C-alpha cells in the first residue's frame, strides 16, 4: 500500500496509502513546489502510516510541529471489517468529535490506518544551516533558549551531547582538525533556518553576528547538498552509539525547555555513579532528548532508566515524545497518567477493538 493517491495543490492536501515512505513523499511533493514538514531522522525508510501511528516528529518540529499538525483525515480498518472514515477533509470542521487525533500515536492499537489525507505547505525558498562546535553542553542549551527569547524560531535546533560525540570520534576528530579546534569538544548544535529568501537572509545575518560576538566556532552553509551532508552527522548518531557498549536502552523524553539544563546536569551525575554511558542528544528546541543508556550490566541499566523516567515526570515532562510506548515502556505509563486518564484510554481501546486483537502487547499496561 505505497501509492500516492491524489495531490490537490489548490487545497494543499495529499491523500496517500500508509506504506508510502516519508522520504518518497517529500521527493514527490518537491516537484510541485510543496513540502511535508515532519522529518523523522528515519525519513528514508519509515512510512507515513508508521509516522501517523507513532506521532512521529523530527528536527523541523520546532517551527513546523509534528505529524499531528498535518493529518486532516483518515480511513481506518477496524476489527470485524468495518471502515471508519474520520475527517472532514477540510482545513476546519467541528461537526464530529474529532477522532483523527485518537489514531495519531495510537501505535496500531485502535485500527489499521488504510488512507491518510495530509496537509502540505509551500516549499521554503531558501534554507541555511549553522553547525556550532562548543566546549560546554550547558552552553549549547543556553544558546537555544536565548535565541528563542530573541524572537528567532529556527526550523531546527538539534543538540549533540558529549557522550554521543565520543561515539563518533573519528568524524569529530576530522572536523576538529578542519576547524582548528583546540579545546575538548563537549557538544554540537545544528541550527537551521528556512523560509522566504529575504527572511532567511535577515536571520542569517543576525545569527552570524550573534555567534561571532560570542566567539563561537561554527560552519555556515547555504548550499542544499552541503546542508544535507552536514545533517548526515546528526542522522548517523543513533546507529554509532553501539560503539560505546554492547547493549542500549533508548528513551525519547520531553521536558519543559526551562528544565533541560537541570536535567542534563542530573544525567551527568547519574553517569558518574553507575557503570554505563548516558547519551542525550536530540530535538533540544522542542525539549526532546533522546536518552540512550549504553551498558553491559542489565540490572544497573534498568535501575538508571527508572530513576530517569521518574525524574522526567517530577519535572512535568513526558516519557515519550515521538517514538511511542511500545512494549518496553508500557509498564511505566501509569507513573505519568492519572488513573482516570488510563481508565478512559482502556475504554476507548475497548470501543474500537473489543476483543483486544490489535497490537495487544503494546502501549497499554
Residue 355 to residues 133, 180, 344, Cα–Cα distance (Å) = 53, 63, 17
172/75 Cα distance (integer angstroms): 46
Interacting residue with ligand FAD among 7, 14, 53, 207 (CB under 6 A) = 53
> Considering beta carbons, is residue 117 or 207 the nearer one to ligand FAD?
117
Handedness of CA 190, 195, 196, 202 (dihedral sign): negative
- Rg (alpha carbons) of the chain, rounded to whole number: 21
Interacting residue with ligand FAD among 29, 36, 42, 260 (CB under 6 A) = 42
Least separation in angstroms between residue 247's CB and ligand FAD is 16
- What stretch of H or E contains 188? strand 187-195
Asked whether position 288 contacts ligand FAD by CB under 6 A, the answer is no
Binding mask 93-132 for ligand FAD (x = CB under 6 A): --------------xx---xx-------------------
Q: Between residue 223 and residue 242, which ones bind ligand FAD under the rule CB under 6 A?
A: 238
Binding mask 7-26 for ligand FAD (x = CB under 6 A): -----------x--------
DSSP code of residue 21: B
- The H-assigned helical ranges of 38-104 are 48-54, 61-64, 100-103
Asked whether position 153 contacts ligand FAD by CB under 6 A, the answer is no
Angle at 258 between CA 310 and CA 274, to 5 degrees: 40
Asked whether position 41 contacts ligand FAD by CB under 6 A, the answer is yes
Interacting residue with ligand FAD among 194, 322, 336, 353 (CB under 6 A) = 322
As a residue count, the chain comes to 365
Cα end-to-end distance, the chain, whole Å: 31
Interacting residue with ligand FAD among 56, 160, 175, 230 (CB under 6 A) = 56
Asked whether position 47 contacts ligand FAD by CB under 6 A, the answer is yes
- Rounded to the nearest 5°, which phi and psi values hold at 32? -105, 15
Total number of residues binding ligand FAD (CB under 6 A)? 22
Binding site for ligand FAD (CB under 6 A): 18, 40-42, 46-47, 49-51, 53-54, 56-58, 107-108, 112-113, 238, 322-323, 359
Amino acid at each position: 500500500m505505497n501509492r500516492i493517491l491524489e495531490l490537490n495543490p489548490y487545497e494543499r492536501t495529499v491523500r496517500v496509502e500508509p506504506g508510502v515512505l516519508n522520504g518518497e513523499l517529500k521527493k514527490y511533493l518537491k516537484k510541485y513546489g510543496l513540502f511535508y514538514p515532519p522529518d523523522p531522522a528515519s525519513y528514508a525508510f519509515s512510512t507515513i502510516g508508521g509516522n501517523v501511528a507513532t506521532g512521529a516528529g523530527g528536527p523541523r518540529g520546532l517551527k513546523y510541529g509534528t505529524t499531528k499538525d498535518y493529518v486532516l483525515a483518515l480511513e481506518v480498518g477496524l476489527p470485524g471489517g468495518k471502515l471508519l472514515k474520520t475527517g472532514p477533509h477540510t482545513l476546519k470542521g467541528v461537526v464530529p468529535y474529532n477522532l483523527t487525533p485518537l489514531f495519531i500515536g495510537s501505535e496500531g492499537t485502535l485500527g489499521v490506518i488504510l488512507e491518510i489525507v495530509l496537509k502540505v505547505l509551500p516549499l521554503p525558498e531558501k534554507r541555511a544551516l549553522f553547525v556550532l562546535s562548543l566546549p560546554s553542553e550547558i552552553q549549547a542549551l543556553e544558546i537555544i533558549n536565548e535565541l528563542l527569547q530573541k524572537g528567532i524560531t529556527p526550523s531546527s535546533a538539534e543538540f549533540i551531547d558529549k557522550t554521543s560525540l565520543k561515539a563518533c570520534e573519528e568524524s569529530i576528530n576530522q572536523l576538529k582538525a578542519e576547524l582548528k579546534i583546540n579545546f575538548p569538544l563537549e557538544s554540537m548544535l545544528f541550527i537551521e533556518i528556512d523560509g522566504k529568501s529575504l527572511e532567511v537572509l535577515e536571520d542569517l545575518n543576525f545569527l552570524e553576528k550573534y555567534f561571532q560576538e560570542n566567539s563561537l566556532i561554527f560552519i555556515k552553509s547555504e548550499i542544499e547538498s552541503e546542508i544535507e551532508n552536514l545533517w548526515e552527522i546528526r542522522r548517523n548518531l543513533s546507529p554509532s552509539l553501539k560503539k560505546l557498549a554492547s547493549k542500549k536502552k533508548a528513551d525519547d523524553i520531553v521536558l519543559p525547555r526551562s528544565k533541560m539544563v537541570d536535567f542534563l546536569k542530573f544525567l551527568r551525575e547519574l553517569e558518574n555513579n553507575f557503570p554505563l554511558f548516558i547519551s542525550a542528544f536530540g530535538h533540544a528546541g522542542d525539549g526532546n532528548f533522546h536518552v540512550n543508556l549504553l551498558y553491559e550490566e542489565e540490572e544497573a541499566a534498568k535501575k538508571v532508566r527508572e530513576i530517569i523516567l521518574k525524574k522526567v515526570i517530577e519535572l512535568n515532562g513526558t516519557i515519550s515524545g515521538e517514538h511511542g510506548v511500545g512494549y518496553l515502556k508500557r509498564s511505566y505509563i501509569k507513573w505519568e497518567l492519572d488513573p482516570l486518564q488510563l481508565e478512559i484510554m482502556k475504554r476507548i481501546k475497548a470501543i474500537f477493538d473489543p476483543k483486544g486483537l490489535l497490537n495487544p502487547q503494546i502501549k497499554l499496561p
